[in-house]
């Protein structure tokens, strides 16, 4: 009898979305957050990360502002945009782990976020954002 590849995959990385086992959890964040885009606050309860994403987060947090400025200049020189990523929701498929209502709610929420960002584009070079960390 073949071994089930999904056995023990009962968690999900909050950054990349890959399914992980309990023993593969490399990092966790719990606590309060502030969402400056939607002007709201909340509490993160058990945001889990796989080893690759956790390593990326640690490296990003250890870098200094000078490195961050250089990285941004490189990205902008390569044509990176500050516009939000637009997802093609017409190709979205409902999750087999969610009810139809939950899937519909997620798609509606993503669409609402995209609509908001179209009406309120981000400009990280705007004077009100310079030096604010957002």
Domain edges within the chain: 1-80, 83-120
Residue pLDDT, tens place only, 80-115: 665 555 656 566 565 555 677 766 776 777 777 777
Half-sphere exposure of 103 (CA within 13 A, CB side): 10
The pLDDT-based confidence of 1 (bands split at 50, 70, 90) is very low
The pLDDT-based confidence of 4 (bands split at 50, 70, 90) is low
User: How far apart (Å, rounded) are the C-alpha atoms in residues 81 and 36?
Assistant: 19
Range of weakest confidence among 1-10, 30-39, 88-97: 88-97
Distances (CA, A) of 11 to 7, 49, 94: 11, 9, 18
Q: Judge contact between 115 and 108, C-beta under 8 A.
A: no
Query: Residue 7 above 90 pLDDT?
Result: no
User: How far apart (Å, rounded) are the C-alpha atoms in residues 128 and 131?
Assistant: 8
């Amino acid at each position: 009898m073949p071994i089930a590849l999904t056995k023990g995959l009962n968690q999900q990385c909050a950054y990349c979305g890959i399914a992980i086992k309990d023993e593969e959890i490399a990092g966790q964040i719990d606590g309060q957050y502030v969402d400056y885009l939607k002007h709201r606050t909340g509490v993160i309860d058990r945001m889990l990360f796989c080893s690759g994403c956790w390593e990326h987060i640690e490296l990003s947090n250890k870098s200094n502002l000078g490195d961050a400025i250089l990285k941004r200049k490189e990205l902008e020189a390569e044509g990176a945009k500050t516009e939000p990523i637009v997802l093609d929701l017409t190709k979205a498929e409902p999750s087999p782990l969610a009810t139809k209502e939950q899937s519909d709610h997620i798609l509606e929420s993503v669409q609402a976020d995209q609509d908001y960002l179209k009406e309120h584009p981000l400009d990280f070079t705007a004077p009100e954002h310079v030096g604010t960390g957002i």
